[in-house]
Amino acid sequence: MKNLLLTLLFFISTSAIPLVAQRTPPSLDCKPKMQPNVQYNLRQAQIALTENKVAVYYVVPKDAEYVQAEYDAIRNATRDIQAWFQINTGGVTYTFAFPDTVMVYRALENTSYYQDSWFFKITDEMAAQGHPIWQPGIVASLWIKSGRADGLGEGMQACDGYCGVATTAVENFPEFNYFNRCPTDPNGIMWPCVPHGTMAHELGHAFGLPHPDEVDSTREFAFHSIMRAHWNYPNGAPDNLRPWGLLTVERTTLWANPFFYEDISLKQIYDADIVNLPVTGSPPAVSFTSSINNLTVDFSNSTEDAVLYYWTFGDGSGSNEESPTHTYSSPGTYTVTLRASSESGMTAMQQQTIEVTDKKKPVAKTIHVGPIKIYPNPSTDGRFTVTFPPLPFTFRLLVHDAMGQPILDQTLSGSSRSLELDLNSFGQGVYYVRLEMRGARLTQRLVVL
C-alpha cells in the first residue's frame, strides 16, 4: 500500500497575529501527526469512483448545546463553499453525501476531553461509531463546537486520494465566537473569524492541495491562493494579492480529483478572479454569440483551445455545456459570462449583457362591440334581422352551419344599419353567425325551427 498523503494545517493562537492590513500574514505552524490507520482495498477504491461525496457534520460535544442558528450557518456556509470551488476551478465541484447537506453528530465525551487533539480523537470516535470517516469515497467536513477561542483549522488527505477530513470550528463564525477574538477592521486580517475561508482551505488539503509556499513551482505565487492566504475570504484580499483564488496547478489538480464533477447544478453567488499563476501555457481565445427569443437564449460558442467551459447566466444558474440554451424565469437585463480553461489550467473569460423580454402574441378574443342584436332567435321561417349602430369602418359577416361549412361571407360598410339573413333554404338546424371588425369578434348561435 502506498504511503498516505498527509497535508495538515494547524493555526497558532491569534494573540500572535497583528490586527493590521495583510502585509505580513499570520505565521503558520504545520505540525505533522501520526497517520490514521486506514484499511481499504482496490475494489473499494474503484467503487468510490462513482460514489465520491463530501459528508458534512455539525459536531456537538456531550456537554455543549445544539443551536439551530449554528446548524443553519454551517449549512449555508457549506453550500457557499461548494459554489466557490465551482467558479474558481472554472466549472467543477463536489456533491454532498447527506440529503439535507449537514448531519448532526453528538460526541460521546465532554469538550475538555478533545481539546489536546480534536482532529484525531473525534475522527477515531466517529469511525468507531460507524460514520464514514477515513473511508474511500468520502471526504468528511467537520464543523466542531470546539470551545476554543481561536477555532480550528486542520485538513488531511488519505486513501491514496480517495478519502480525507477537513475541520474547522463553530467559533470561527463571528456570530458564534463568544471570546471576543474577532477583529473589527474589515481591511485587516480576519482570522480566526473566517469560517468559509478556513473550511475551503482545509477541504483543499483533504482534496490533496499542499501549501503553495512549500512547493518550488508555486512559492512565488503562494499568496494569490486560498491555500496560503485565506483569512480574508471571500472578497477581502488586498490589492497586492490580486488576482486571488486558485492557482493554475491547483485547478488542474482538482480537475483530476475523483470528488470533482461537471454538471453540478447550484445557485452561483460568486464572481472570481482569473488567476493564471504560474503561467502554464496560453489561455483559450474565448468567443461566443447569443440569439434571443423572448425569455430563451441560444448561445453559440466559438472558443478555441479549451477543455472545460463554465457559463454563468446572471440569474444564479450555470452550465458546463459547450453551447447551451438557457430560459430565464423573468424579463430583465443579465450579464452572461463564459469561462473557458485550457488543458494546462489557463483560464480566460468573455462577458455579454443581454436583455430578455416576455412578449406574447395577441390572442383573438370574442368581444361585443356596441348594441348588436339578432332577432328573432329561434326563428320559425329561417329569417333573421341583424341591427347594429353606425361604425367608422367596414366589417365582415360570416355564417356557418353546425358542421362548420360556410354559407355566407360578406363585407359590409360602416354606414349599414341592419341586415336581413334568410336561412330558410338551408332547412332546420343550428347555425352560427360571426361578425369580425378590427380584431374583435362577435359570434351568435342561431336556431331555425
Give pLDDT, residue 80.
96
Q: Which regions of 364-439 does DSSP assign to beta strands (E)?
A: 365-366, 373-375, 383-387, 395-401, 406-412, 418-422, 429-437
Domain end: 335, 356, 377, which one? 356
CA angle 76-226-136, nearest 5°?
70
Query: What is the reported pLDDT for 34?
Result: 44
Tell me which of 339, 356, 373 is where a domain ends: 356
| Number of domains the chain is built from | 3
Residues of the domain holding 372? 365-448
Q: What pLDDT score was predicted for residue 421?
A: 83
Same domain (yes/no): 139, 84: yes
Digits of tens for pLDDT over the chain (449 positions)? Answer: 333 333 333 332 222 222 222 333 443 444 334 445 444 444 444 444 457 999 999 999 999 999 999 999 999 999 999 999 999 999 999 999 999 999 999 999 999 999 999 999 999 999 999 999 999 999 999 999 999 999 999 999 999 999 999 999 999 999 999 998 888 776 677 888 999 999 999 999 999 999 999 999 999 999 999 999 988 776 667 778 889 999 999 999 999 999 999 999 999 999 999 999 999 999 999 999 999 999 999 999 999 999 999 999 999 999 999 999 999 999 999 999 999 999 999 999 999 999 999 876 544 343 344 567 788 888 888 888 887 776 667 778 788 887 778 888 888 776 666 778 888 888 888 888 887 776 667 777 888 88
Both 346 and 372 in one domain: the answer is no
Q: How far apart are CA 115 and CA 109, in angstroms?
A: 11
Query: What's the pLDDT at 399?
Result: 86
Q: For residue 26, what pLDDT is reported?
A: 44
Distance, CA of 228 to CA of 224 (rounded, Å): 8
Instruction: Note whether 352 and 369 are same-domain residues.
Output: no
Under DSSP, the state recorded for 353 is E
Same domain, 37 and 145: yes
Q: Is residue 277 part of a domain?
A: no
Phi/psi region, residue 214 (left: phi>0; alpha: psi -120 to 50; beta: rest), is alpha
Rounded to 5°, the CA angle 111-117-119 comes to 95
Q: What is the CATH number of the domain that holds 292?
A: 2.60.40.10
Instruction: For residues 71 and 212, state if they share a domain.
Output: yes
For 24, the grid coordinates are 505580513
- 154 and 191 together in one domain: yes
Dihedral angle over CA of 71, 75, 78, 82, nearest 10: 170
**Residues 104 and 165 placed together within one structural domain of the fold:** yes
How does strand 406-412 pair with strand 440-448? Answer: unpaired
CB 250 within 8 A of CB 225: yes
> How far is the C-alpha of 435 from the C-alpha of 220, rounded, in Å?
82
List the beta strands (DSSP E) in 61-108. Answer: 102-106
314 located within any domain:
yes
Report if residue 317 sits inside a domain.
yes
- DSSP symbol at 438: T
Residue 223, C-beta contacts closer than 8 angstroms, at least 6 positions apart: 25, 213, 229, 241
Distance CA(356)–CA(385), nearest Å, equals 51
pTM of the model: 0.74
Hey, which residues does 296 pair with through a beta bridge? 293, 327
Query: Where residue 117 sits, what CATH number does that domain have?
Result: 3.40.390
159, 30: one domain: yes
Q: Establish if 141 belongs to a structural domain.
A: yes
Task: Please tell me whether residues 236 and 315 are part of one structural domain.
Answer: no
The answer to whether residues 204 and 84 belong to one domain is yes
Alpha carbon distances (Å) from 445 to 52, 194, 202, 442: 68, 75, 77, 10
pLDDT at 28: 40
Q: Indicate whether 292 and 312 sit together in one domain.
A: yes
Q: Is 74 left (phi over 0), alpha (psi -120 to 50) or beta?
A: alpha
**Which cell goes with 351?**
462577458
